[in-house]
A and B are shown apart, each in its own frame.
Chain A
Amino acid sequence: MLNNLIIADGSSFSVSIYAGLGLAVGIIVIHFIVRGVSGLKRERSGRKLGMIEKLVYLGVLGCIGALGVSAFLPILTHGHMTGYYMLLHTVFAGAFLLMFTLYVLLWSEDHVFTCEQGGGNEGEKGSPFRRGSKICFWIMLLAGILAIGSMLVNMLPYLSTSQQAIMIDLHRYTSLCVVLTGIIHAYMVLIGKRSAH
């Protein structure tokens, strides 16, 4: 059962990687086209991000990139992670843990939904982020907690092999979710907050 689970999931997860990346790129391309057609222009609003916030964000993106490559590349090529890829993955996992926590602490307040977006207000200075960014952020946080938690639980000597296999699956898919929402979020941040002029 365990072998079946892992092997079957290994191949199906490869499909999920391709599908997820395709979906993320698709969303970005469509958004970009729609934005161009509808003549949306850049609008700077809300407070400016500080240097530390930007560095932390770059750190998170870097870690997500490294983790994604070290995980997806061996899975897509060999069907599983092993050797230096695994080592790289665990090294960046530690860095990601730290950067992600800082990122959440520094960026979460700016990602609170405003009344217009269906949530609370955005304070005096206002949020520099659009609704799409905020959705991505909160999904990323939830997925990140699950991805990190599933691995931390696996490090405890309590779960059986089959339970660990479930946790690994959870880790895989939530991590994929973190990567995809991270990509979309980065795109949103890059294009900034824009509105019809």
Chain B
Amino acid sequence: MQYKYLKKNHPFCTLIVSIILFAISGIAEGATPKTGSKSQHVHILKLYDENNVQIDPTAENPKPYSAINTCGQCHDYEKIQHGWHFNAAGDAVDKGRPGEPWIMTDDRVGVQLPLSYRGWKGTFNPKDLKVTQWEMIRNFGRHMPGGGIGEKYAEPSEDSKWKAAGNLRIDCLTCHTADRSFDHEAWGQMIKLNNMRWAPTAAAGLGKITGAGTSLPKDADIKEGEEPEIDPARMPKVEYDLRKFDKENKVFFDVVRKPPNNRCFACHTVNEGGVQEQPKWHSDQDVHIRAGFSCVDCHTNGIEHHTVRGFKGEVHPKAPLQAASLSCAGCHLGDESEQPELQDMAGRLGAPKPVHGGIPPFHFDKLSCTVCHSGPMPKDKVGTVQTSMAHALGEVSKTKTTEDMPNIASPVYLKTGDGQVEPHRVMWPAYWGLEKDGKITAIHPDQAYRELRRVFRKRRSSSSDDKEEPAYDGYTPEQITTALETLKKEFKDAGEPVYIAGGKLYKLVGDKDEEGKETMKLDVVENHPASEPYTWAFGHNVRPARQALGVNGCTDCHSKDAPFFYATSASLGPALNDPKTVTAPLLKKNHEWQGWDASLLGMWEQSFEGHKPFKFFAWSVFAILVLVGLRYALRGLGAVLSMSCCKGSKCSANSE
């Protein structure tokens, strides 16, 4: 009967079966293969090039391997590429709390510009500055994991050589390799050489790259999926290390799900400088790291790679509760928000609940956890920091100093939007700009250099060929004046040239000399809105409880000259920073950053000077009060008990 039915409805059944089979095959194709085990899967992989063709390392002129196509055989690249590390230039991305910007530094013309696509207040959008994505990748790709503006949002521009260099696609190994031979420096070198598509191969140490994209003509085009149209002899080449390939041309990748700290540090190293500088062996690192944590234990993510940043009030696109439970308070207290579920999530990863004995609770409304527990202990002067992203740490250099631009001050304690004080890093932007109708537009550093190279150049007399080179050692007011005059001639009606540095705006104003002749003089405006510093909060390194601010009592902060309130930060910039000239940096104490009334602070400090005697007095007087109270309480009790005899003229209980 059934057979007959099937026979009769043969076309219909065929259709149904086909649909089911198609659906199953579709699911199988789209799904990510999984082992289901907590044990790490051993990744012995075939390598694929950017055209998704398996690489034969012995072939003549083999192509560089593509991390996307190799890893993408199993992992969903489409999902991954929208993660926090890749999505800065995306349109529909929550910008989150201001973070460290990319700082475009050009010491030839005294420029340090905080750039970000995220629209953080105080940063410059590279698009507005006409800084192309190609430039961004050339400048900062060294500390990017690929993807984002290197690929998805990469736009062609006049200066770009995307076609020859290839896009800088996400290199999964940048984070997910446990192989200590992974060479992040090689990644950066490839980018400098315009060898973007060769960068993953070089960094992974799979082969030796010779040749440079920089030597290719500007219009050279290596279209993806097609053979190069340019002379192969001029192309960068990869010579694979055959020892790394097995007989099936497979390679073992020491891939790990949880990136090791070493990989995070490649881009997120911070070194203290200035008064905070100390030898590396004096540093204890973050207390969590010392306890055996990995960065990614807290800064974790799923396949979408929306990495938890871990600050209070973070809006996580995928798992808001999970993210909230990984902030300091979320993990240690569980009381960060009104969400009752957080209470049950407290104590993750064995986080102890702090007692904070004797610290008045309102401190926890006014201060973030990081004020007392993060960064170096504050000193009377605010120190500086050097970061991987800003100072290209990780690149070997014999000339690097802790004074190198850009100048970033840290730790500065200032209030965030929600009124809580947090430790911040601060940088004062420095750039040449044009002021028109009250609005200041920054000039691209390269353009400024073209116009000002003659102003700032210095003859190098020791050089045999008498070569000229621009020299930067801090600009004098005279140099700034000359530079502004030069720009004024060049830009004419485009606006009044200005120079912004160290929290000051320099511009030329009309004046008369001794003979009454019209002339221009340098005018300096302090604290101009355009010269406001860019600040961003930080959370690491975390110090343990016994190293926290306040461990010695209230006077750690509430005393005269306590660094928390009185440490001074200087608005250091590329100008001379000479106290004798108008380039003198602006000095600002922490309490000024926080907006506290100095006289109120002074009164508090005075009150804390007498804190111990007051406590002694208060406890003594309180003891008297309690004794008096007890005396009458006992007397009253006695009276109540002897109420029965209180019928005559006297009560027995009161007879004394």
Contact = CB atoms under 8 A, between A and B. Distances in A.
A6 B607 contact: no
Interface in A31-89: 80-84, 87
Contacts of B438: none
A83 B599 CA distance: 11
Contacts of A87: 600, 603-604, 607
A108 interface: yes
B625 A104 contact: yes
B358 A156 contact: yes
Contacts of B649: 121
Contact of B624 (A101, A115, A156): A101
* A interface: dominant SS: helix
B361 A120 contact: no
B591 to A, nearest CB: 13
B583 to A, nearest CB: 37
Given A148-B622, A158-B358, A112 B338 contact: no
B654 A164 contact: no
A1 B651 contact: no
Nearest to B638: A120
Given A2-B333, A94-B614, A101 B359 contact: no
A1 B615 contact: no
A97 B628 contact: no
Contacts of B361: 2, 6, 161, 164-165, 168
A90 B607 contact: yes
Given A98-B621, A101-B624, A155 B358 contact: yes
A188 to B, nearest CB: 19
Nearest to B353: A160
Q: Could you say which interface size class chain B belongs to?
A: 35 or more
B105 to A, nearest CB: 41
Nearest to B342: A1
Nearest to A122: B654
A158 B604 CA distance: 23
Interface residues of A, number: 47
Interface string B619-656: 10110111011001001100100010010011101100
A91 B615 CA distance: 13
Contact of A83 (B333, B334, B597, B618): B597
B335 A152 contact: no
A158 B357 contact: yes
A80 B650 contact: no
Nearest to A80: B362
Interface string B340-366: 000100000000001111111110110
Interface in A79-133: 80-84, 87, 90-91, 94, 97-98, 100-101, 104-105, 108, 112-113, 115, 118-121
Given A3-B335, A113-B639, A115-B651, A141 B629 contact: yes
A97 to B, nearest CB: 5
A2 B335 contact: yes
